[in-house]
Structure 1
């Protein structure tokens, strides 16, 4: 028999709406003291201090009736009284579970603080949520829109390219929402297989490992008070996530799911929130520093450049260069931060020159960042590994286009004996869904474009392959075949959009 520490733990335990101070022997619910008998209070302390563990009747008796000889039924009576006083079982909320033949377990999530009670319900009911950032440039409108979406829908997936700020956005929203007494945040990015999801989620929300059916335990835990479950980085285990989300949504109307992923789950009831990159100045002519700094991408670039040792303010003569870099990086916050951090060491002009070089993909950011966010290359490796072999080949081959291109042009260059027309269509859908390829807006025939940093990455992959010369030859031939169109229409078939506005193709 494992002995339970009789001496109460100093500090405050938090579970649901309750604050438990074992030393002061107080239990407070929403500012009001809950009166418990001394035995019931002792049993609560024992269970909370060993949250998730199964305590036998004998262990509980030793804790609450130390040195006394009492019947086992006393534990059962006091547990029933304790459950009634704290509302265990009301509206599906469960705190104390009976484990047949073994004893009892406190199954609600518990947090402990040695500094006393928190100042808001938000902190009190949040589990695993990253700390709130002081600010996130250019995301205030996104916070408002996503918060509204969560109030109206029970299942929202934030979709966007790697490094665009999906985790940052959901963290901002979670800290500002007053609607949910309980918020759980689970990062799935470290999982190597979908089979591990149930265990990871169960551990995060406090479902005891003794539960035979982990899925049922998760569903039961989420069916109590209004709960927001945030699952971060779902793209590599997306099928397993779908199998977790659907039963939980069917079982309870109290649970809301907020997911981040590089592609949507495509489940019934899912609302997809597309997170766009930060705004960057368009290439419309002369740009002053004051005008450039109105754009969040430029503001972020200059802040991170200063953090990296570049202490010169943005002048009018550098504004166009910084704006061009931000456009080249497609307003991607992570890419902007990594590139801007090298301005102090390399100089602004040299950084701009190296954007198409592998060196820029390998510049490291924060040592505290997760591995997939420490370099641009690691960020893209994560997405690239999720592609099929045919989609990877199409991505390589499309890198020969420096600007916008048509579907016909994509088929002409990327197609071949090994990749037929249906494969091209499927690969393009796959690349768009995974936020690696974008359809351009406007009227007329559909046009596509590889994101700037993605194109650099894909071009390096193509250069390393044995088909580099052949694919570039096909692209050159296609350009030659379309020169007559240029002569009669004045259109530029393969506009380099880094230097001038893109024009329609074909």
Structure 2
């Protein structure tokens, strides 16, 4: 599930631990700190936030990244006024408060290409499949046909396990079969691709310019690659990029990069992210140079070198 859905479930499960109650506020792009403070008071049914003092309460703040400065100011003020108030916040970036504990919502695990599943039951243990089936169940009442099982796994792999991308794809199940949904993405149909681009663009705009350029270069990898491969590709950005490890960690936290392996760690850009970043490279006039940089790299076991078309 996505960040909002996950946080909603967590808030419901924790409700009994907060006798002061649980309330939520949805942040808008133009929210101000004063507006958020007013919404908090209204949500808890009190005149002022200070009236919550002495009663442990939980505040769910959804969409921190829409107005990070306003949210940060409001939360800092609330911490001073109501020391026992606890926050559960969602967003594509942290609030920056000293007391914050960050829990990244990474892409959901997908079935490996090597798995040849003959039944849906073999795919259900993979969270990406579970989310897709749950969302499909809301828009169609018919059971999956046998010929839809293999495309089901291929679809979540194509979407890189991104929860919101999976939800968008499932919504198309009202009128399309699984093979038809997969085909629409494989053909890069504008009607299918544009919603995914919007999802990726929201995270992309949170990156610093040097990080955006690095992501555009990383889009040259078609399959999995290592940290060493990334460092080799990005070595000419030393003056702009502070640390490749920090970059990879940030991309993972924003849901733009997936990680696999315990010892020999490998990274991979989900197809929707890679396509978006490659399009951005073309728009910036960097694509040809990026391809040449990639072509100069030597072999790297497990990286799956292959430049974007």
> TM-score, normalising length from structure 1?
0.52
Asked if 1:184 is matched to 2:20, the reply is no
Structure 1 residues 401, 310: closer, same or farther in 2, change over 3 A?
farther
Matched, 1:399 2:209: no
Maintained 8 Å contact 1:230/1:257: yes
CA contact (8 A) 2:140 2:174 kept: yes
| Superposition deviation, residue 233 in structure 1 | 0.9
Q: What do residues 121-140 of structure 1 show as CA deviations (whole Å, max 9, x unaligned)?
A: xxxxxxxxxxxxxxxxxxxx
Counterparts in 2 of 1:467 and 1:236: CA distance versus 1, 3 Å: same
Which structure shows the bigger proportion of residues in strand conformation?
1
Match of 2:8 in 1: 171
- Could you say which residue in structure 2 is the equivalent of 1:313? 144
Q: Which residue of 1 aligns with 2:206?
A: 386
Matched, 1:494 2:304: yes
- Say if 1:357 and 1:456, in contact at 8 Å, map to a contact too: no
Q: How far apart are the structure 2 equivalents of 1:344 and 1:231?
A: 32
Q: Distance in 2 between matches of 1:423 and 1:276?
A: 21
Alpha-carbon distance, 1:228 to partner: 1.2
CA distance in 1, matches of 2:191, 2:244: 27
Aligned: 1:451 with 2:287: no
Partner of 1:228: 58
Matches within 5 A, 1:104-183: 164-176=1-13, 177-180=15-18, 181-183=20-22
State how far apart, in whole Å, the 2-side matches of 1:474 and 1:420 are.
17
User: How many aligned positions are there?
Assistant: 300
Q: Which has the higher contact order (CA 8 A, sep 6+)?
A: 2
Contact kept in structure 1, 2:36 and 2:71, CA below 8 Å: no
User: Are 1:472 and 2:303 counterparts?
Assistant: no
Where does the alignment leave 5 or more consecutive residues of structure 1 unmatched? 1-163, 212-216, 365-374, 486-490, 497-506
Distance between the aligned counterparts of 1:306 and 1:332, measured in 2? 18
RMSD, matched Cα: 3.3
5+ residue gaps, structure 2 = none
Distance 2:127 2:243 in 1: 38
For normalisation by structure 2, the TM-score amounts to 0.80
Residue deviations 1:373-406, cap 9 Å, x none? xx32222222122222221111111111122222
1:335 aligns with 2:154: no
Please state if 1:257 is matched with 2:73: no
Alignment of 1:413 onto 2:233: yes
When residues 294 and 423 of structure 1 are mapped into structure 2, their CA distance, relative to the original with a 3 A threshold, is: closer
Q: 1:463 aligns with which of 277, 282, 289?
A: 282
